[in-house]
A and B are shown apart, each in its own frame.
Chain A
Amino acid sequence: MARNRGGLSTASTSKVGDRTAWATSRESGRLWSALDAAIVAALACVTPPRRQAIGAREPALRKAYGELRQEDADAAAKAWDASPISTARMCMELWDQIRDSDWGLVSSTSFVSSWPQRLWDITKYHQFNGDAGGYGMGYGAPSAAGAALAHRDAGRIAVAIQTDGDLMVLPGTLWTLAHHSIPLLMIMHNNRAWHQETMHLQRMASRRDRGAGRWKVGTVIDDPAIDFATMAKSMGVWAEGPVSDAELLKPALQRALAVVRSGKPALLDVLTQPR
């Protein structure tokens, strides 16, 4: 029996492929018509009084939403000019540069205090694709590369807020980006640390009367600090940094995005506050 490069017999793979194709067209056709029927039935339940009741909720929701945004703006204003650069400042400077383009955010945001979810306008499904499942370590860089490849085919620019610890799990991702000309902006959330276990270490230090600085053991990426811009350049990725002055973010972002819009990856190393 003939075998393909994966070792599977060609006869069995083609059979599997046919069955999949058949299932997709017939099964999905059945699913879509069921969904249509459900939508029609649901709309029939929305009588004029119900429609009014739903509309009556709008003012309160608008007000609550506005207050939420204002609270987040006030929180973002704190440490706006600080060095290391605040995560709010970095995220809003980035937002200012991409908001008028067709963009996609292809990284997690929890370690930058979720500023994109709080203060950006995320209105299309492709603008955010979530986080690792199962607390995946080192997921960020390679997942950003894959998602950026999809955005490239759709004619969009992809941006990733790349944490330093995550990039060090699979730094060869940078070469992959350069080799395949994937237009991704990696703007780094470089707090020179993981910090994952520090609270536990602090609790243990307090419980067992150990010295104050013990929380640093195994939790910081410093001494020496990693030069991410040089690392990226070594693998063919345009890069600048480290940037620690918030006033320099805007021009640096503009230069980096010019590279990304020309179809190439770019990395901007930014020294940031912890969260």
Chain B
Amino acid sequence: MSKSILLGAALLFSSSALLALNTSSPGDAQAPPSQRAVGADQARGRALFVAQGCFQCHGYDGQGSIMSGPALTPLRRSQTAFQAYVRAPAGIMPIYSGKILPDADLASIYSYVAALPPPRAASAIPLLAEFLGERPRYAPAASAKVVPSSAGPDTRTVKTSMSSDAHGEGAQLFARNCASCHGAQMQGGYGPKLRGEAAKRTPAETLALLLDPPAGMPKLSPDPLSRDQMQAIASYVRSQE
């Protein structure tokens, strides 16, 4: 009686351990050795991600929080950049030295984070899909609108600087994709200072650098940013002295 309970418990434990591996393919037993090794490293990486406390700020699934730390998915840094950042983070993230987090453990954590599955698209989630699309969900009552006088032009078709100016879009894209390394005012941080870019390179050279960045800098084009968007960022960066 007790033996079968032990066996049942062992089966339960091993199956939950397999689930914790976060590998979805049922044919893992037939996978080539390198893939099996990666799977095991991801499991170890997750255990370390929890033991070292990374999950408190970045979430168990790397989703981040505006209160505590950025999302880690999708991960756009190379392994070198990721590991270097953990050793010398900007901002308020604590430093993880080699003595409390050995290189091999950090490499496992990287393999866990890099392998986190991409999130479901918000458009595929009914509770979130209503926030996507052209019109924001909340529309104030008509009486609350400021109605232009009949003598004036229809102000609702007036183009503002934010909607038509490439610098406006470039500034937004920069804030979302570049500021975390280069600083909100391009003053530098983990990445170099960008002020004075216009004096250093021609417009074509700046764009070429963005499209084919040096080691340590994420390659954001063609995915998720288009060439036009990279051009907008380049124009914005060059416009700041």
B60 at the interface (CB under 8 A from A): yes
| Secondary structure class of chain B's binding surface, majority of residues | loop
Instruction: Collect the chain A residues with CB atoms within 8 Å of residue B153's CB.
Output: 52
A66 shortest CB reach to chain B, Å? 4
- Please, what's the 1-or-0 string for A44-58, where 1 marks a CB less than 8 Å from any CB in chain B? 000011011011111
| Given A84-B60, A274-B55: A58 touches B67 (CB 8 Å cut-off) | no
Instruction: Collect the chain A residues with CB atoms within 8 Å of residue B119's CB.
Output: 77-80
B190 at the interface (CB under 8 A from A): no
A166 shortest CB reach to chain B, Å? 15
Query: Is the pair A59, B122 in contact by a Cβ cutoff of 8 Å?
Result: no
Instruction: Collect the chain A residues with CB atoms within 8 Å of residue B56's CB.
Output: 193, 195, 198, 274-275
| Given A51-B146, A52-B155, A70-B131: A78 touches B64 (CB 8 Å cut-off) | yes
Query: Is the pair A274, B57 in contact by a Cβ cutoff of 8 Å?
Result: yes
A72 at the interface (CB under 8 A from B): yes
CA distance A162 to B120 in the complex (A): 28
Query: Is the pair A123, B138 in contact by a Cβ cutoff of 8 Å?
Result: yes
- Interface residue ranges of A35-78 to B (CB < 8 Å): 48-49, 51-52, 54-60, 62-67, 69-78
Instruction: Collect the chain B residues with CB atoms within 8 Å of residue A7's CB.
Output: none
Minimum CB distance partner of B96 in chain A:
A206
B134 at the interface (CB under 8 A from A): yes
A124 shortest CB reach to chain B, Å? 12
CB < 8 Å neighbour of A82 from B51, B60, B145? B60
- Interface residue ranges of B136-160 to A (CB < 8 Å): 136-138, 145-149, 151-153, 155-156, 158-160
A273 at the interface (CB under 8 A from B): yes
CB < 8 Å neighbour of B68 from A64, A72, A206, A275? A275
B5 at the interface (CB under 8 A from A): no
A195 shortest CB reach to chain B, Å? 5
B207 at the interface (CB under 8 A from A): no
B132 at the interface (CB under 8 A from A): yes
Minimum CB distance partner of B141 in chain A:
A123
Minimum CB distance partner of B95 in chain A:
A206
| Given A72-B131, A199-B92: A52 touches B71 (CB 8 Å cut-off) | no
Stretch at the interface among B35-43, B97-105, B181-189: B97-105
Instruction: Collect the chain A residues with CB atoms within 8 Å of residue B59's CB.
Output: 78-79, 82, 86, 273-275
CA distance A216 to B52 in the complex (A): 9
Query: Is the pair B51, A213 in contact by a Cβ cutoff of 8 Å?
Result: yes
Query: Is the pair B66, A63 in contact by a Cβ cutoff of 8 Å?
Result: no
Q: With a 10 A CB-CB cut-off, give which of A73, A95, A111 has the most chain B CB atoms.
A: A73
Stretch at the interface among A113-121, A149-157, A224-232, A254-262: A113-121
Minimum CB distance partner of B71 in chain A:
A78
B14 at the interface (CB under 8 A from A): no
CB < 8 Å neighbour of B67 from A56, A65, A110? A110
- Please, what's the 1-or-0 string for A91-133, where 1 marks a CB less than 8 Å from any CB in chain B? 0110110000000000000110110000101010000000000
Query: Is the pair A66, B128 in contact by a Cβ cutoff of 8 Å?
Result: no
Minimum CB distance partner of A273 in chain B:
B59
B79 at the interface (CB under 8 A from A): no
Interface, chain B (partner A; CB < 8 A): 51-53, 55-57, 59-68, 71, 73, 92, 94-97, 99-101, 119-122, 125, 127-129, 131-132, 134-138, 145-149, 151-153, 155-156, 158-163, 172, 176
> What are some 5 contacts across the A-B interface (CB < 8 A)?
A77-B128, A82-B60, A206-B95, A212-B100, A274-B65
Interface, chain A (partner B; CB < 8 A): 48-49, 51-52, 54-60, 62-67, 69-82, 84, 86-88, 92-93, 95-96, 110-111, 113-114, 119, 121, 123, 193, 195, 198-199, 202-203, 205-207, 209-213, 215-216, 273-275
Given A63-B163, A77-B122, A79-B119, 7 further pairs, Cβ under 8 A:
A56-B158, A59-B158, A66-B136, A78-B71, A203-B94, A274-B56, A275-B65
